[in-house]
Structure 1
Amino acid sequence: MHTFPPISLIGAPTDIGAGHRGASMGPEALRVAGLAAALAARGLDVVDRGNVAGPFNPWLPPTDGYRHLGEVVAWNRAVMQAVAAELAQERLPILLGGDHCLAIGSITAVARHCREQGKHLTVLWLDAHADFNTSAITPSGNIHGMPVACLCGFGPQELTGLGGGAPALSPEQIRQIGIRSVDAGEKKLVRDVGLDIYDMRYIDEVGMKRVMEEALLNLGPRDHLHVSFDVDFLDPGIAPGVGTTIPGGPNYREAQLCMEMIADSGRLGSLDIMELNPALDVRNQTAMLAVDLVESLFGKSTLMRD
């Protein structure tokens, strides 16, 4: 049984990068659904650090291909500093989103921590979307469609260089799982950079077990696994509380298996829970499902397994 370090919950209540209002209420919905208590019941040491602060969402149209770039930078800098502070104390940060643009700050902090510790970072990006848009190809200017591109160095310097140096990640460090919506311009870009994408067709063809075996291949003691979990990864039939519902996502059992196999790897070091939008949810069921899946990520299983 893998033992986890102490856990810190960090709320980032903003929908600054999104196309719908409401993801700003995601952190509170996860708290109401009992995330801290569920993890504590597993014997884990959990502290809720409260919320980071950032600018109000002005809800303006895009400027030069980006909506709210200055505000997005401010929020991501706050997230980066909060996540870095927990990693420095050898704690496992869980970022409660908020929209998915905030993963830029979260993963930039994790990447820098891994470089300093001599660890190899692998990012599992659980999402319906590739999030590899740029200002040149984005249909909307919403930066929550750009975090993977920014982390790989494709984007505005304020975000690609958020950690001070070169891009936080190279494309071969990312495995994307559950993808089923890629914009036309993105398709060429993700192919050109060689992004490792396990889309829904591939999951249908070979099954979630094989997908996760491939995604988790060759992880060793020097590996740090960061999971960036966009709740729209899940099929909207079980998880309606998201701004961009795309039918045909993983069902409950597939999602559980995905989380359980990540837990079995013993390498989980940091986590984002993103894009939960309680304004679009039904009696907080999506938040409760997210909590259930996160319990599995931290080792809950039906039977005792070695």
Structure 2
Amino acid sequence: MNRQISLIGVPMDLGQNRRGVDMGPSAIRYAGVVERLKKLNYAIEDLGDIEIPNPGKRPEDKGLKNLHEVSEGNIRLTEIVDETVEKGHFPLVLGGDHSIAIGSLAGIAKHAESLGVIWYDAHGDLNTGETSPSGNIHGMPLAVSLGLGDEKLTQIGHYAPKIRPENIVIVGARSLDDGEKELIKEKGINVYTMHEVDRLGMTKVMNDTIQYLKDRTDHVHLSLDLDGLDPQDAPGVGTPVVGGLSFRESHLAMEMLAEADIITSAEFVEVNPILDEKNKTASVAVDLMGSLFGEKLL
């Protein structure tokens, strides 16, 4: 794992309806992420939080909420992530809602010939303006990164697509819209729903994921939405779905990724302190980061 980490906070809460997730980066810092990673002998550069435009009073653009502001915020994130990778640092992005993955992937993908993505999430985030029931852009970043959707989003970074469908693995899915299901089948995207996790076990799911991506990619980005975990373990998220991945399963997944040493960038998103219990979800995020970056009991 790259020993130089740049922390990038993205206080974005415009990709969905519930306020508060903009305080996620602060909550994660408060939970001790810098101290935790320094103990593991990483050099940490905290770049602070990028500026997110205030929401205007514009009408919805093609049914997409806050399209202009989400686009502008992700353009800024793209530039910072690009600069971070350019100087040889590991970009660790702190969200913020999951719409920020648009900028993360746009900044990273230009440095990879074949970028792999592990999407650790209860949702597929494969909607477009045509299929989304809500118009919330945090349900669209994976589709956008495939080049599907509004050009204000797909053309961030001035190229599209950022990723190929065969280089994606979704882990923990349990809430998919009809349009997403059709797209998954059409594109042949690899998805481990909770049915597969329960049936196969997390060890096999991660072994298969790691081997699959090792064989076909040169970089792997981890996009971890805290709602991938069960709400009992991560209550402070905007769109909780019961029956999720356990705290222990998630630690195992991160430990296996650390051992495989394939992750070259990561983001942890959807921590909402307003909906949380004594900053529990932010603490879980930091615990999982510890495991991802090589923390061990012995």
For the pair 1:252 / 2:214, whether they are aligned, the reply is no
Task: Specify whether residues 231 and 61 from structure 1 end up closer, same or farther in structure 2 by C-alpha distance, changes over 3 A only.
Answer: farther
Which residue number in structure 2 is paired with residue 73 of structure 1?
A: 71
Deviations 1:210-242 (CA, angstroms, capped at 9, x unpaired): 000111115169721110011101110010000
What is aligned with 1:172?
166
The answer as to 2:282 corresponding to 1:287 is yes
Give the 3-state SS of the residue equivalent to 1:176 in structure 2: strand
Structure 1 counterpart of 2:222: 227
Query: What residue number does 1:20 align with?
Result: 18
> Which of 2, 26, 29 is the matching residue for 2:27?
29
Contact 2:146 2:160 survives alignment (8 Å): no
C-alpha displacement of 1:146: 0.3
**SS of residue matched to 1:108:** helix
- Work out the CA distance in 2 between the residues paired with 1:164 and 1:126: 27
Partner of 1:182: 176
Deviates more, 1:280-289 or 1:182-191: 182-191
Cα shift at 1:188: 1.2
Of the candidates 264, 269, 283, which is equivalent to residue 269 of structure 1?
264
Aligned-pair distance for 1:183?
1.0
Q: Which runs of 5+ in 1 are unaligned?
A: none
- Out of 130, 134, 138, the position equivalent to 1:140 is 134
Tell me if structure 2 keeps the 8 A contact 1:12–1:96. Answer: yes
Q: Could you tell me which amino acid in structure 1 is paired with residue 149 of structure 2?
A: G
CA contact (8 A) 2:167 2:217 kept: no
- Letter in structure 2 aligned against 1:198: Y
Q: Which amino acid aligns with 2:23?
A: M
1:52-88: per-residue Cα shift (whole Å, max 9, x none)? Answer: 1120134877432211111111000011011111101
SS of 1:66's equivalent in the other structure is coil
Task: Give deviations 1:10-49, integer Å, cap 9, x for gaps.
Answer: 1111201012111100000001000011000111111111
Q: 1:130 to 1:265 in 2, by over 3 A?
A: same
CA–CA separation in structure 2 for the residues paired with 1:281 and 1:222: 36
Matched residue SS, 1:15? coil
Aligned equivalent of 1:242, options 226, 237, 243: 237
How many residues matched?
297
Match runs of 1:206-217 below 5 Å: 206-217=200-211
1:297 partnered with 2:292: yes
- Equivalent pair of 1:15/1:57 in contact (CA under 8 Å): no
Distance 1:247-1:171 versus aligned 2 partners, 3 A rule: same
Distance 2:178 2:59 in 1: 22
**1:193–1:22: structure 2 CA closer, same or farther, 3 Å change rule?**
same
Partner of 1:102: 100
Rounded to whole Å, the distance in 1 between the matches of 2:53 and 2:216 is: 39
The share of aligned pairs that are identical, in percent, is 43
Contact 1:14/1:23 (8 A) holds in 2: yes
Q: 1:43-122 to 2 correspondence within 5 Å?
A: 43-58=41-56, 62-115=60-113, 120-122=114-116
Amino acid at match of 2:138: H
**Preserved CA contact (<8 Å) 2:116 2:163:** no
What is the aligned partner in structure 2 of residue 197 from structure 1? 191
Query: 1: CA distance between counterparts of 2:237 and 2:179?
Result: 24
